[in-house]
Amino acid sequence: MMKRFICTALVAAGLGACDVTPSLPVEQAPERLRTSSVVSADRTLGLAGSVVRTYVQGPDGNDVEVAGVSCQISSGELSGRVTTPQMINYPLFIQADRFANRGQPSSLQVTCSYNGKSARQSVSPGLQSRARAATQNTAVAPNTVTSSFVPLTGAVSSSYPWVYPPQIRVNLR
């Protein structure tokens, strides 16, 4: 019992020293971004997701997450609107020589405004990592669904698809 208390105290002290604050829960249904007509069906395969979160600077100088912020999301291929915190779903973009720029989509432009503060965040895509590709967790109501993902190989692509970061953080100033 004493050992459990000491371990709990050490973990709590470590978290306090790092100024880690828990994230607000995502309670809204995911927003599927609209795909523009420039995206051909053979350029995408499946869906990926990211959570959009917004922060303001608190009185102590630390960032505080805020909910209910309206954000517009756009790129050359995708568009949509969310109210933070909210998950966005978008197509996985296949990486292949047959596409311009190996199929890399343009950066997402996330523009948010809240109580007289606003911000615009540019979010660049990257190649899906092995860790993210191996398992994707999706929260559905109180349950968590885990599904395995098989990396693209052979004739489809010699590498992982393009994705955006799992967390999109917008700091309102």
Q: Where are the alpha helices (DSSP H) in 18-110?
A: none
Burial of 129 (0-12, 13-18, 19+ CB in 10 A): exposed
pLDDT interval class at 19 (50, 70, 90)? very low
The number of distinct structural domains making up the chain is 1
42 phi and psi angles, rounded to 5 deg: -80, 0
Q: Give the residue numbers spanning the domain of 101.
A: 23-171
* Element of type H or E holding 136: strand 135-140
Does residue 58 fall inside a structural domain? yes
Q: What is the pLDDT of residue 109?
A: 98
Does residue 103 fall inside a structural domain? yes
Does residue 15 fall inside a structural domain? no
The model's pLDDT over 104-141, given as tens digits with 9 standing for 90+, comes to 999 999 999 999 999 999 999 998 875 454 434 333 33
Does residue 7 fall inside a structural domain? no
Does residue 6 fall inside a structural domain? no
The model's pLDDT over 39-60, given as tens digits with 9 standing for 90+, comes to 998 999 999 999 999 999 999 9
Does residue 80 fall inside a structural domain? yes
